[in-house]
Structure 1
Amino acid sequence: MSQSAGGQIDTVMTETRLFPPSDEFASRARIGSMEAYQQLYDEAKSDPAAFWSKLAQEELHWFKPFETALEWNEPFAQW
């Protein structure tokens, strides 16, 4: 078990193993490697609104294009 400095339990399980897909599966996958996944993850983490806006524009058909991907008026978020 992992414990914080105050003796409180943070987690009861830590899993670090990776289970890579077969080469055949990876060659057909939309995200074919951990490097490609990490690049997408980093992009999404650094600017979530821009990431999801770009993805929505590229992957979805819109009858009318949207102008704003995210309206953030705390405590409310509207995508």
Structure 2
Amino acid sequence: MAALGWLPGIRIDQAESWEDVGIIKEAVNLAEEKATAKTSVLLEETRIFEAPKDLAENSNVMKWMKEKGFKTEREMRLWCSANYIQFWGEMAKTYADWFEPWSSTLEWKPPYAKWFVGGKCNVTHNCVDRHAQGAKKIRWPYIRA
């Protein structure tokens, strides 16, 4: 039998009695319960972190919202939900560089979805190079290790 990687050195096949097997299984169950208890708290997050007002007002989302003529964020969200293919097509054209255009924004054949079919883009270019060549090129990039 395989070793239990997160209980170093404990292997069921090395148990000397059925009592040892029971103890090992109990330890495994206890460890799983503790892990679940720690991670289940993460699923219950209810806090909302608001962006600073000036940052929100000058964001790409607000700029796009104003260009489209939406009066409220709720109005925009309702439109985006009803027109998600058009929304994501506009976002991709506006906020990403494409080396080859796509022929279809979405091909949906449940359970499979293909976005931007036929299009080619370079993620590194869009995350780094695109910004290094833009108006904010003198800012230091933020690199998360």
- TM-score norm. by structure 2 comes to 0.34
Aligned to 1:58: 94
Correspondence 1:27-42 to 2 at 5 A = 27-32=57-62, 35=72, 37-42=73-78
**Matched residue of 2:60: which SS?**
coil
- Report the Cα offset of residue 25 of structure 1: 3.7
Correspondence 1:9-48 to 2 at 5 A = 22-32=52-62, 35=72, 37-48=73-84
Greater RCO, 1 or 2 (C-alpha within 8 Å, sep 6+): 1
Larger Rg: 2
Q: Over residues 48-73 of structure 1, what are the superposed CA-to-partner deviations in whole Å (9 max), with x where a residue is unaligned?
A: 11110111011110001112111101
Cα separation, partners in 2 of 1:50 and 1:72, compared to 1, 3 Å: same
Percent identity (aligned)? 23
Gaps of 5+ in 1: 1-12
- TM-score norm. by structure 1 comes to 0.56
Cα separation, partners in 2 of 1:28 and 1:46, compared to 1, 3 Å: same
Higher helix proportion (structure 1 or 2) = 2
Gaps of 5+ in 2: 1-43, 63-70, 116-145
CA distance in 2, matches of 1:31, 1:74: 30
CA distance in 1, matches of 2:103, 2:53: 40
Aligned to 2:105: 69
Counterpart residue identity of residue 83, structure 2: D
CA RMSD of aligned residues (A): 3.0
